[in-house]
Structure 1
Amino acid sequence: MPDNTFDFIVCGAGASGSVVAGRLAENPGGRVLLIEAGSDDEHPDIEQPGHWPLNLGTERDWNFTAAANPHINDRQIPLNMGRGLGGGSSINVMLWARGHKNDWEDFAAESGDPAWSYASVLKLYQRIEDYQGNADPSRRGTGGPVHVQCAAPAQPIAHAMLDAANAMDIPTFDNPNGLMMEGRGGAAFNDLIIKNGKRHSIYRAYVHPRRGQPNLTVLTDTLVSRLLFKGQRVVGVEALNQGQIQRYYADHEVILSLGAINTPKVLMQSGIGPEQALRRHGIPVIQHLPGVGANHQDHVSFAAIFAYTTPQPIGHGGSEATLYWSSDSALRLPDMFHCQAEFPVPSAENAHLGVPDHGWTMFAGLAHPQSRGHVTLSGPRPDDAPIIQPNTLSHPDDLRSALDNLRFVQELGAQAAFKGLVKGECLPGNLDTRALEHYARNAAVTYWHQCGTAKMGRDSMSVVDSRLLVYGVQGLRIADASIMPHVTSGNTMAPCVVIGERAVEEIRALYQV
């Protein structure tokens, strides 16, 4: 058997790709190749939870930047994305947020497949988790590969945030998953992927224990540049390592898990995507799929910053408490997604407005923004950077929601629960509507949850079916956040693990592996 031929090639070692490669490698008879553009994860800034901000802007980050956007005062928002073994799960804030019940019901409706329903996904989460919190056997799992624990003991500012939420008649829960995400929402200490004081990435959970197995090959510092075809069937990939072109072949399937930017980029540069856009760059069209690169979504947030009375410690990476809430009880999904940071985090554009040396931030986030963006090509070559236009705040409802969320957080931060810990609000301050709009446009930043650019569904803009197979071609599956019909409620790492598990379910059913 040639050493460049495998049963399965998994492209990308992030939160979904690590699951797919690790699970498929459980079968000793299956030959699995995992290709990652970045490097190994042996770095103290990956390992230490409090060091996560030090990874941003380094070689462990793709360092994407959004195009200038008139809706946010022509700003170009940095769009950090993990590059290396573990992907985002190696550089993120480690929050384990499973999504709302109705996120999954929506996925099932969009795909026409009950395997994506909440009841089905709940069983997956029970298999995935090794949950260290209070027993909840109907919702939480133990003994799985992903170590999940509560951010406890939490710092006083996190306790105060939960008490403030209670004072505003928002219920608090034992954890931010399970029951809390089956209704209107609430507040809770975060669930985190921290084990023995260290980050426990999805790569560490699924792939690292299998390194050394003869049936699993992991290539780092290797950039997947395009797919290889035989007719309409994908038979392998072309990749670059130290400037050299390498070709690898798959007897069964190639699984793209490159994320919401690089997955559509590789698809389009391989001839799968909007026909007109491909022809503009001289790329031969293999399959016209207009939805490739469309439907770009991301959580957007706006910082409200409060000054401490005296400096406070930072725990568990600095984000120990969160709040999801539905501003209207009739909503199917929470529209508010607020994360507390135990240090001040202004946007670059608002940093001059007076940021305290010591303080805390409440990110007033939109759980389900209506704005939609797109990813397009700047050229046909692997080193041609993708053009990312999130169109943040382009939908008028999002700006209105931003102001409502900021005012909500201002009210939260003014609660008596913070007395003694907090001197008062620094940003945005007491602004009229026009000034608050200007502040929001300058404050808008990503939660790093890009998704939707190769969505699952049954309409003309869908790219994959319920089994995550790409329409119109054979031997190609996508497993990452790009398949989400809409962004889930909360951080996207845990749903990406589910997406990886769902891909493995379908692969095993098809190939009996």
Structure 2
Amino acid sequence: MEQIAQKMTGASAGRDAHDFDFIVCGAGSSGSVVAARLAQDGQARVLLLEAGGDDVDSRVTDPAQWPLNLGSERDWGFVGQPAPGLAGRRLPLSMGKGLGGGSSINVMVWARGHKEDWNHFAAEAGDERWGYESVLGYYRRIEDWRGAPDPVRRGSGGPVHVAQPDAPQPIAQTLVTAAGLAGIPVFDSPNGEMMESDGGAAIAELRINGGQRESVFRSYVAPMLAHPNLTVLTDALVTGLVFAGRKVVGVDAVVRGEPRRFHARCETVLSLGAVHTPKVLMQSGIGHRDELHAHGISVIQHLPGVGQNHQDHIAFGCTWAYHAPQGVGGGGCEAALYWKSDSRLNHPDILQCQLEFPVPAPAEAGIATPEHGWTMFAGLAQPKSRGRLRLSGPDARDPVLIEPNSLSEPEDVAAALAAVELCREVGNSAAFAPLVRGEAAPGPRDKSGMIDFIRKSAVTYWHQSCTAMMGRDSMAVVDNELRVYGVEGLRIADASIMPRIPVGNTMAPCVVIGERAADLIRLAHGLSSAHGIGNPVRV
């Protein structure tokens, strides 16, 4: 694969090896989709640039080893600025670096987002093609669902293998049972009907195929690597956009330590994630003029929303000790629960993700971790707090400053209290008695003590998003077709375009964003459909 990935294609066409029709920056859960779908045409020359390395390592392929990637060369290892809402702590903000991006180091949960997420996207974009009914069509195209048939909501024969574990661990099955005893609806699947309702509990759907992780890169790009019109370069850090006037005509990059410039005849797509996409935009002259002037960067387009609206799922680990060691299935996350902190809401705002092993709390929380146990992350699925990104300098080597601003809004603290209370109610159910010895964290506390626990134990699901949002107001960065306002030849396709963070994990929505971007680009440039990956593309 490495030999194919380094191969510069298209020389027989008499064009420079640095010239392409399309350049896609970032081989994560959106960029992999865009590059593969554009390359299906067979004529368009597509370049996919990835700053990280390959994905041929047991830490990637073995689902149980995903924690070993955190802090490794496959993790950008971002750290947030001190946050008052977190008792001054700095949050570790992991993000995938390498082929597959986050889909190569995450917990492999396939969560498609709630109906109201997509309807909100459509309302903000002014385009019903982003709405839930349209997105169901994308999911039917995307999925190769290995569960009970649901022709309205689920797909078969697509590139993305999705399945529930064949034999979930007893602790996962017990969580679903305990949720039902607490009055929470139980569903056969956490997607489909459950994500059209108030929420519920179910055995998780995972991206594990034949006992191995299947990243989005493996689903989409790997089958295309032999195509001569697709080039994939690893260790290729995009450092800036190349302009001809107000049109993006390529990118500058450092490839294996050497500066290179690549030209895009048609379009460039940024799929670098919610941190590096706005960073590249700002360092290329697209952002708030005051932020750019502060670092001596010439303004190409004043867009004050670049780097703003930062959102992430914040969670609080509630842990129980086992009577005796229990098994861990897949990546250790085999059950999930979504519910409301307030019955008046039209969608769940609590996300509970079970891990089948005890997760240590941050040191500041002062909580001992049992040797054997399990952890439920009581999470905020729809946080109201908003953060931002700032530049520390104009150079690609200057780190971006991430200000998560977590738990700054009183509504988030109230929702966090409700999330932890629900977590403890379910986790202390009598249904767990055969497996669990007792609650290790947080334990009974008064309201003040529980807020202290929440601020000192909060971590994230590593779902950073919304920093170059789609919309129509003054803070929007891209329009309904993902084109950057005021700039030609440039689109964004990754989690940064989300107007708000979706209710669940972000991988599946990022695949939809990639599919949507590819459709829009194909239509704009008259590219034909092909049958190279799963079902044929339909616009």
TM-score normalized with structure 2 length: 0.94
Question: In the alignment, which residue of structure 1 is the partner of 2:237?
Answer: 223
Question: In the alignment, which residue of structure 2 is the partner of 1:277?
Answer: 291
1:484 counterpart letter in structure 2 = M
Question: How many angstroms does 1:244 deviate by?
Answer: 1.7
Question: How many angstroms does 1:306 deviate by?
Answer: 0.4
Question: In the alignment, which residue of structure 2 is the partner of 1:36?
Answer: 50
Q: Name segments (4+ residues, structure 1) moved above 6 Å.
A: none
1:318 counterpart letter in structure 2 = G
Question: How many angstroms does 1:331 deviate by?
Answer: 1.1
8 A contact 1:235–1:249 mirrored in 2: yes
SS in 2 for 1:252: strand
The Cα offsets for residues 23-63 of structure 1, whole Å up to 9 and x where unpaired, read as: 11111101000000000100110000000000000000000
CA distance in 2, matches of 1:394, 1:211: 46
Tell me which of 334, 337, 345 is aligned to 1:323: 337
Q: Given the alignment of the two structures, is residue 93 of structure 1 paired with residue 93 of structure 2, yes or no? A: no
Tell me which of 50, 56, 68 is aligned to 1:54: 68
Tell me which of 370, 394, 400 is aligned to 2:408: 394
Question: How many angstroms does 1:133 deviate by?
Answer: 0.7
Q: Given the alignment of the two structures, is residue 378 of structure 1 paired with residue 392 of structure 2, yes or no? A: yes
CA distance in 2, matches of 1:167, 1:464: 45
1:403 counterpart letter in structure 2 = L
The Cα offsets for residues 140-161 of structure 1, whole Å up to 9 and x where unpaired, read as: 0000000000023100000110
Tell me which of 89, 102, 106 is aligned to 2:120: 106
Question: In the alignment, which residue of structure 1 is the partner of 2:480?
Answer: 466
Moved more, 425-434 or 328-337: 328-337
8 A contact 2:361–2:367 mirrored in 1: no
Question: In the alignment, which residue of structure 2 is the partner of 1:115?
Answer: 129
Residues 189-208 of structure 1 mapped to structure 2, 5 A cutoff: 189-208=203-222
Q: Given the alignment of the two structures, is residue 26 of structure 1 paired with residue 40 of structure 2, yes or no? A: yes
Question: How many angstroms does 1:212 deviate by?
Answer: 2.0
2:127 counterpart letter in structure 1 = D
Tell me which of 416, 419, 443 is aligned to 2:430: 416
The Cα offsets for residues 423-473 of structure 1, whole Å up to 9 and x where unpaired, read as: 110100111111111111111101110000000000000000000000000
8 A contact 1:350–1:439 mirrored in 2: no
Question: How many angstroms does 1:350 deviate by?
Answer: 5.2
CA distance in 1, matches of 2:520, 2:126: 15
Question: In the alignment, which residue of structure 1 is the partner of 2:531?
Answer: none
Question: How many angstroms does 1:182 deviate by?
Answer: 0.2
Q: Given the alignment of the two structures, is residue 496 of structure 1 paired with residue 519 of structure 2, yes or no? A: no
Q: Given the alignment of the two structures, is residue 436 of structure 1 paired with residue 416 of structure 2, yes or no? A: no
Question: In the alignment, which residue of structure 2 is the partner of 1:139?
Answer: 153
The Cα offsets for residues 115-172 of structure 1, whole Å up to 9 and x where unpaired, read as: 1010000000000000001111110000000000002310000011001000011111
The Cα offsets for residues 330-383 of structure 1, whole Å up to 9 and x where unpaired, read as: 311101100000011133225642211000101000110000000110000010
8 A contact 2:360–2:368 mirrored in 1: no
SS in 1 for 2:260: strand
8 A contact 1:346–1:443 mirrored in 2: no
Question: How many angstroms does 1:328 deviate by?
Answer: 3.0
Moved more, 371-380 or 349-358: 349-358
What stretches of structure 2 of length at least 5 have no aligned partner?
Answer: 1-14, 528-539
8 A contact 2:20–2:265 mirrored in 1: yes
The Cα offsets for residues 488-508 of structure 1, whole Å up to 9 and x where unpaired, read as: 010000000000001011111
2:407 counterpart letter in structure 1 = L
CA distance in 2, matches of 1:348, 1:354: 10
CA distance in 1, matches of 2:451, 2:257: 47
Question: How many angstroms does 1:416 deviate by?
Answer: 1.2
CA distance in 1, matches of 2:412, 2:500: 15
Tell me which of 190, 194, 199 is aligned to 1:176: 190
Question: How many angstroms does 1:400 deviate by?
Answer: 1.5
8 A contact 2:29–2:100 mirrored in 1: yes
CA distance in 1, matches of 2:381, 2:193: 18
Q: Given the alignment of the two structures, is residue 5 of structure 1 paired with residue 5 of structure 2, yes or no? A: no
Tell me which of 302, 316, 337 is aligned to 1:288: 302
SS in 2 for 1:236: strand
SS in 1 for 2:21: strand
| C-alpha RMSD of matched pairs (Å) | 0.8
CA distance in 2, matches of 1:428, 1:488: 27
CA distance in 2, matches of 1:322, 1:29: 43
CA distance in 2, matches of 1:147, 1:404: 35
CA distance in 1, matches of 2:146, 2:525: 35
2:372 counterpart letter in structure 1 = H
CA distance in 2, matches of 1:287, 1:347: 43
Question: How many angstroms does 1:82 deviate by?
Answer: 0.2
Tell me which of 232, 238, 244 is aligned to 2:258: 244
Question: In the alignment, which residue of structure 2 is the partner of 1:126?
Answer: 140
The Cα offsets for residues 59-90 of structure 1, whole Å up to 9 and x where unpaired, read as: 00000000011111111110000000000000
8 A contact 1:130–1:142 mirrored in 2: yes
SS in 1 for 2:508: helix
SS in 2 for 1:119: helix
* Cα separation, partners in 2 of 1:361 and 1:405, compared to 1, 3 Å: same
CA distance in 2, matches of 1:218, 1:311: 44
CA distance in 2, matches of 1:296, 1:169: 34
8 A contact 2:341–2:418 mirrored in 1: no
What percentage of residue pairs aligned between the two structures are identical?
58
Question: How many angstroms does 1:403 deviate by?
Answer: 1.3
Tell me which of 140, 146, 151 is aligned to 2:165: 151
Q: Given the alignment of the two structures, is residue 511 of structure 1 paired with residue 511 of structure 2, yes or no? A: no
CA distance in 2, matches of 1:233, 1:60: 33
Moved more, 38-47 or 320-329: 320-329
CA distance in 2, matches of 1:243, 1:197: 36
8 A contact 1:308–1:422 mirrored in 2: yes
CA distance in 2, matches of 1:433, 1:197: 44
Moved more, 344-353 or 429-438: 344-353
Question: How many angstroms does 1:293 deviate by?
Answer: 0.1
Question: In the alignment, which residue of structure 1 is the partner of 2:280?
Answer: 266
The number of equivalent residue pairs is 513
TM-score normalized with structure 1 length: 0.99
2:333 counterpart letter in structure 1 = S
Q: Given the alignment of the two structures, is residue 338 of structure 1 paired with residue 352 of structure 2, yes or no? A: yes
Q: Given the alignment of the two structures, is residue 481 of structure 1 paired with residue 490 of structure 2, yes or no? A: no
1:334 counterpart letter in structure 2 = P
CA distance in 1, matches of 2:179, 2:166: 18
